[in-house]
Amino acid sequence: MTCPTAVSKCGSVITDSIVGSTDVSLTTKFCASECTPGTKQIPTGGTVSFKCCDTDLCNGTDGINKGSFLLLLSPLFFHILLH
């Protein structure tokens, strides 16, 4: 991801969870002035991992096919998670 010049960090948030009998992983990429790496457990039994980097495009794409697939699954994941 290319970040604006005023923002020095790129980051990724990776959410791993189990929905029914399926492992689901959702990756969100962002730009920020600060980023703290780490992993947290979520109450539903999954994890949320924060990854940070300092160079342009350092949290680059995972591939168009994987990204498209995850984009299509996102509404289903949140529907199941929130209901």
Write the DSSP string, 21-44: TEEEEEEEEEEES----EEEE-TT
What residues does each domain of the chain span?
A: 9-82
At 6 the pLDDT is 75
Distance in angstroms (rounded) separating the CA atoms of residues 19 and 70: 14
- Does the pTM of the predicted model rise above 0.85? no
Residue pLDDT, tens place only, 2-29: 677 777 788 888 899 888 888 888 888 8
* Adjacent-strand bridge partners of 64: none
